[in-house]
């Protein structure tokens, strides 16, 4: 995942840690290091302008979130669009047109892989439909815990901000110089965003909806109202970006409908929270087989934060009204101290009606013989999806009280929603957050990064996230071992997992992190 310097929804800039200036390299060294590292990525690693997440040095194996083909580029951050944003940041930091052209190549790669509807899947496979189908039927189908990759829906996804990040890049690069080569792709993407908004104001995880999209005997969840991974508020952010850069009379009504779905989907007290997904009659729904139909604490906390943001955007007190009941519900499901683990005080899932915590488990050793299930037992929960969450309800309540004390006009005085057209921020990326990409290594300071770029032009990174190569379909017989809390099952499971002392390789996320560190030093020290 990527932190941005400027969240349009929140209207507040992120506070960045001050770089270590005591060992800051000279400006010429920073510029030369940035350029050499970028040349390597653009001229040696990029495929049709796009990027994956990780590469062995000889490119014999490559990965996005899971193992990929060399004919692919990854859309999901920190992938191709994120690299495009980085290059635009570097262009603004240095004035060097090489970075702008690198960003343009990334944007053109995304446009070349854009679906006819205007959105994107998790990746683009330039080898064509047969190659994509083979990938889904082998690597994707056997990734036990990666259910979003087990079926080729053939449509676009908003999951993990992939489509949103791609649209933001097209907005940003078109706004930079108004080059016509980006206009058609941008227009198609914006039309996709409007067309995919549900009549109730929400967005689904995937669009358009397909028949027979369910997995493992469960109904298809991908067309439901989706809060999971911030789908709706990320799309609001994209529309706000477009509102600032370009403008469209449809934007404000679309944003208002989207904000109001938060009000409509909140469940009644005393369980005044939200689920990951909601049905069209506004009830919480299940999603992947390890996401039961339940109320969800971290989603509820995120939705509270968004309601506070909506008040900052609009000054309308209706967005503050649901917050106290939601906070009261969160406090009512706080785990007893004996069940809290690692500072995580709340269960992820809460049973509708009873307010009991639900804990998710699995049995078996692969996607063929394994299954997920939920019960009330807190022992031996799955390891790849945390059973507990850390939520600062006291801070949320303080933020609520502070906003409540403000007049609406004061709270929204800096709102991009009300200001309309204005220049976009010159710098977007702030950091690579811990997320799905486990191979990101944070840089210490500019001096160290100058010294550690190797002769070929990349920062050697220990790839501690790997996966089993595809070894055929999983057997029906459960393999020996305990896979209840592991990231990966038996040797036929192609899900990624962490190892100690993995091979040294090339990490896109590490490159992004190190370039951000160098740009911070360049901008602040000189």
pLDDT digits (tens, 9 = 90+) for 104-154: 999 999 999 999 999 999 999 999 999 999 999 999 999 999 999 999 999
The Cβ of residue 351 has, within 10 Å, a number of other Cβ atoms equal to: 18
Burial category of 512 from C-beta neighbours within 10 Å (exposed 0-12, middle 13-18, buried 19 and up) = buried
Task: Give CA–CA dist 49/102, Å, rounded.
Answer: 8
DSSP for residue 276: S
Helix or strand (DSSP H, E) at 141:
none
CB atoms within 10 A of CB 262: 21
d(CA 208, CA 195): 9
Q: Which phi and psi (to 5°) does residue 362 adopt? A: -145, 155
Residue 189: HSE in the Cβ half-sphere, 13 Å Cα cutoff: 30
Task: Write down the pLDDT at residue 21.
Answer: 39
Helix (H, G, I), strand (E, B) or coil at 170: helix
Name residues whose C-beta falls within 8 Å of residue 423's C-beta, 6 or more positions apart in sequence: 244
Residue-wise pLDDT for 181-195, tens only, equals: 999 999 999 999 999
Say yes or no to pLDDT of 263 above 70: yes
> What are the phi and psi torsion angles at 72 (to 5°)?
-105, 155
Average pLDDT over the chain, rounded to whole? 94
Is the per-residue pLDDT at 16 higher than 60? no
Q: How many angstroms separate the Cα of 48 from the Cα of each of 52, 102, 105, 157, 242?
A: 11, 11, 7, 21, 26
Q: pLDDT digit string (tens) for 469-482?
A: 999 999 999 999 99
- The whole-number pLDDT of residue 525 equals 63
Which of helix, strand or coil describes residue 166? helix
* 8 A C-beta contact, residue 88 and residue 100: yes
Residues of 423-450 as b/e, b for ≥16 C-beta within 10 angstroms? ebbebbbbbbeeebbbbbbebebbbebb
> How far is residue 90 from each of residues 34, 94, 196, 243, 425, measured CA to CA in Å?
9, 6, 33, 24, 13
Q: Which of the two residues, 414 and 444, has the higher pLDDT score?
A: 414
At 1, is the pLDDT very low, low, confident or very high (cuts 50, 70, 90)? low
420-472 per-position pLDDT tens digit = 899 999 999 998 876 889 999 998 899 999 999 999 999 999 999 999 999 99
State the Cα–Cα distance between residues 91 and 192, nearest whole angstrom.
29
Torsion sign, CA atoms 44, 48, 51, 54: negative
Structure-token match 């890049």, residue found: 169
Question: Is pLDDT of 489 > 50?
Answer: yes
pLDDT at 217 over 80: no
Residue percentage of the chain with pLDDT more than 70 = 95
Q: Are strands 54-55 and 62-63 parallel, antiparallel or unpaired?
A: antiparallel
Element (H, E) at 452: helix 446-452
**pLDDT average, residue stretch 361-375:** 98
CA distance 500 to 314: 49
Residue 157 in tokens: 């996804």
Question: Which residue ranges make up each domain of the chain?
Answer: 2-525
pLDDT for 216 equals 76
Q: What's the whole-number mean pLDDT along residues 487-507?
A: 97
Rounded CA-CA distance 479/490 in Å is: 6
Task: Give the global pTM.
Answer: 0.95
**How does 216-247 read in b/e, with b if 16+ C-beta sit within 10 Å?**
eeeebbbbbbbbbbbbbbbbbbbbbbbbbbbe
What pLDDT shows up at residue 523? Answer: 86
How many alpha carbons fall within 13 Å on the CB side of residue 417?
28
For a pLDDT cut of 90, what percent of the chain falls above it?
Answer: 90
The CA distance from 73 to 48, in Å, is 8
DSSP state of 339: G
Round to whole Å and give the CA distance between 105 and 257.
Answer: 35
**pLDDT the model gives residue 5:** 52
Res 269 pLDDT > 50: yes
- pLDDT tops 80 at residue 311: yes
Is 51 in contact with 79 (CB distance < 8 Å)?
Answer: yes
Length of the chain: 526
Instruction: Output the CATH code of domain 2-525.
Output: 1.50.10.20
């Amino acid at each position: 995942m990527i932190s941005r310097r400027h969240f349009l929804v929140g209207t507040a800039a992120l506070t960045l840690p001050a770089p270590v200036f005591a060992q800051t390299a000279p400006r010429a060294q920073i510029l030369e290091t940035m350029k050499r590292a970028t040349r390597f990525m653009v001229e040696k690693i990029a495929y049709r302008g796009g990027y994956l997440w990780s590469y062995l040095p000889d490119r014999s194996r490559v990965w996005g979130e899971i193992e990929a083909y060399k004919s692919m580029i990854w859309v999901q951050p920190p992938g191709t669009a994120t690299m495009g944003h980085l290059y635009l940041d570097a262009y603004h930091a240095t004035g060097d047109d090489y970075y702008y052209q690198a960003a343009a190549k990334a944007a053109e790669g995304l446009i070349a892989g854009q679906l006819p509807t205007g959105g994107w899947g998790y990746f683009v496979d330039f080898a064509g439909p047969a190659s994509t189908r083979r990938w889904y039927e082998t690597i994707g189908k056997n990734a036990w815990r990666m259910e979003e990759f087990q079926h080729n829906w053939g449509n676009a996804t908003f999951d993990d901000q992939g489509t949103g990040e791609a649209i933001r890049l097209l907005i940003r690069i078109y706004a930079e110089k108004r080059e016509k080569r980006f206009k058609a792709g941008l227009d198609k993407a914006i039309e996709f965003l409007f067309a995919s908004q549900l009549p109730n104001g929400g967005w689904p995880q995937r669009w358009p909806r397909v028949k027979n999209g369910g997995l493992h005997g469960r109904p298809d969840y991908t067309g439901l109202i989706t809060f999971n991974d911030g789908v709706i508020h990320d799309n609001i952010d994209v529309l706000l970006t477009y509102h600032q850069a370009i403008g469209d009379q449809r934007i404000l009504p679309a944003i208002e409908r989207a904000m109001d779905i938060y009000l409509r989907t909140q469940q009644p007290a005393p369980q005044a929270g939200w689920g990951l997904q909601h049905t069209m009659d506004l009830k919480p729904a299940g999603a992947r087989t390890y996401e039961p139909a339940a109320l969800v604490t971290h989603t509820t906390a995120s939705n509270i934060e968004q309601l506070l943001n909506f008040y900052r955007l609009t000054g309308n007190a209706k967005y503050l009204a649901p917050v106290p009941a939601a906070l009261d519900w969160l406090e009512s499901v706080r785990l007893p101290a004996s069940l809290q683990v690692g500072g995580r005080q709340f269960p992820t899932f809460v049973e509708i009606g009873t307010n009991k915590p639900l804990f998710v488990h699995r049995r078996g050793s692969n996607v063929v013989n394994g299954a997920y299930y939920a019960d009330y037992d807190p022992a031996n929960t799955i390891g790849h999806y945390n059973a507990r969450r850390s939520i600062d309800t006291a801070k949320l309540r303080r933020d609520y009280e502070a906003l409540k004390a403000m007049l609406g006009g004061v709270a929204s005085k800096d709102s991009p929603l009300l200001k309309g057209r204005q220049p976009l921020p010159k710098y977007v990326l702030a950091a690579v957050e811990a997320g799905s990409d486990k191979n990101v290594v944070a840089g210490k300071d500019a001096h160290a990064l100058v010294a550690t770029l190797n002769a070929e032009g990349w920062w050697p990174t220990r790839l501690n996230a790997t996966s089993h190569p595809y070894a055929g379909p999983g057997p029906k017989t459960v393999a020996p071992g305990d896979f209840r809390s592991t990231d990966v099952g038996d040797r036929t499971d192609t899900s990624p997992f962490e190892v100690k002392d993995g091979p040294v390789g090339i990490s896109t996320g590490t490159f992004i992190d190190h370039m951000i560190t160098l740009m911070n030093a360049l901008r602040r020290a000189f």
